[in-house]
Structure 1
Amino acid sequence: MERNLALIALFAALIAVLGLVPTITLMSGVPISAQSLGVMLCGTVLGAKRGLLAVLLLELVVALGVPALAGGRGGLGVFFGPTVGFLIGWPIAAFVAGLVTEKLRSAPLVAAASIGAFLGGVIALYIPGIIGMAVMLDKTLAEATALVLPFIPGDLIKVVLAGLITSGLARARPAAVLSRG
């Protein structure tokens, strides 16, 4: 139990730290940041349930006002801006990434984690992200989808990195990858 709590807190902190990597804010008001890599890793390393809890912990900290999001953002206001759909999608993304990684036990971990990161960190994340942008920016779903297209190349790189990092961690410390435990 203590180990699980520590890992959940550690991965919540990892997402926050990845927000310190310099961001690029697009015209839509949504920043391109490394934080979605942290969300993917929450799932691929911790598994579905712990990954979900790590992201929810970070979002609780953000809601309490800690500037733990990209660009030093925090507070309840971030849940009412163009990124709200992505914030709603983060816990879903971590859960899906973890669930897929857990279920694909017969596949090599690098492949399972990459597929999980793609299905969770891109597909499952973009759906609420696009809907949130459409609502908050008063755009159609097609217009909001066009606004997220610049994110795709970077997110595909993060998918590959999530697979490689998860696999590398499993080689170095097999017991640390709970999605396969």
Structure 2
Amino acid sequence: MQDLAYCAVFAALIIVFAFVSIPVGAAGVPIVLQNAIVILSGLILGAKRGFLATALFLVIGLLGIPVLAGGRSTLAALAGPTVGYVVGYLFAALVAGAIAYRATKGTSAVVTLAIAAVAGLAVQYLLGSFGLMLRADMGFGPALAANAPFIIPDLIKLAAAVAIATGVHKAFPDLREKA
């Protein structure tokens, strides 16, 4: 029952942070916090629970509820060029959680969490690029290059996510044992 509550809370956080966005240039693709919260769910909850929290938020969006940046539903995103990023959310939480839960205590835990966060972001970028190839008829190089303007802001968000996850795991050491 506790796992269900964790997943529900993180699904809600992911949805709430969809509405925190910074418009960027004429391209209309905003910088959002949602992708970092997806990775944070993996860092804190681990692979299984992070995946389930992300899946829950996406299923809510399949019902037509606006859970993504720009007030879009999952259904709308699946039909557009961002499909790969949406699918990437699932696997980002899974990968980040799998790596994060291998962390030990101390300084190495922070390093492991940072590696987990960057790996989760890499999954988002890779799958997002495949979605751009599929839906926007781009080649792999240009699709991957489309992520470039977001690298620095995303790394800043991930630094905050690692700091938060480190604090949560220090405050609630039993969280890992119950994963």
Instruction: Establish whether TM, by shorter chain, passes 0.5.
Output: yes
Counterpart-to-counterpart distance in 2, 1:126 and 1:25: 18
Residue 110 of structure 2 is matched in structure 1 by 110
2:62/2:75 contact within 8 Å kept: yes
Q: Which deviations, in whole Å up to 9, do the C-alpha atoms of 1:44-100 show, x marking residues without a partner?
A: 000000000000000000111111111111151211111100011111000100000
1:117/1:159 contact within 8 Å kept: yes
Counterpart-to-counterpart distance in 2, 1:180 and 1:114: 22
Structure 1 residue 28 displacement after superposition: 5.5
2:21/2:30 contact within 8 Å kept: no
SS of the equivalent of 2:101 reads: helix
Residue 83 of structure 2 is matched in structure 1 by 84
Structure 1 residue 32 displacement after superposition: 2.1
With 66-75 and 86-95 compared, the bigger mean Cα shift is at: 66-75
Give me the identity figure in percent. 39
Query: Does residue 1:131 correspond to 2:126, yes or no?
Result: no
With 88-97 and 69-78 compared, the bigger mean Cα shift is at: 69-78
**What one-letter code is carried by the residue in structure 1 that aligns with 2:57?**
L
Residue 53 of structure 1 is matched in structure 2 by 52
Residue 31 of structure 1 is matched in structure 2 by 30
5 Å matches for 1:1-181?
2-24=1-23, 30-105=29-104, 108-120=108-120, 122-175=121-174, 177-178=175-176
SS of the equivalent of 2:77 reads: helix
Q: Which deviations, in whole Å up to 9, do the C-alpha atoms of 1:90-148 show, x marking residues without a partner?
A: 1100010000011233663322211101111x211111100101221111111112211
1:30/1:82 contact within 8 Å kept: no
**What one-letter code is carried by the residue in structure 2 that aligns with 1:4?**
D
1:109/1:166 contact within 8 Å kept: no
Counterpart-to-counterpart distance in 2, 1:136 and 1:98: 29
C-alpha spacing 1:49/1:22, structure 2 compared with 1 (3 Å): same
SS of the equivalent of 1:66 reads: coil
2:126/2:144 contact within 8 Å kept: no
2:88/2:125 contact within 8 Å kept: yes
Residues paired across the two proteins, number:
178
**What one-letter code is carried by the residue in structure 2 that aligns with 1:95?**
L
**What one-letter code is carried by the residue in structure 2 that aligns with 1:178?**
R
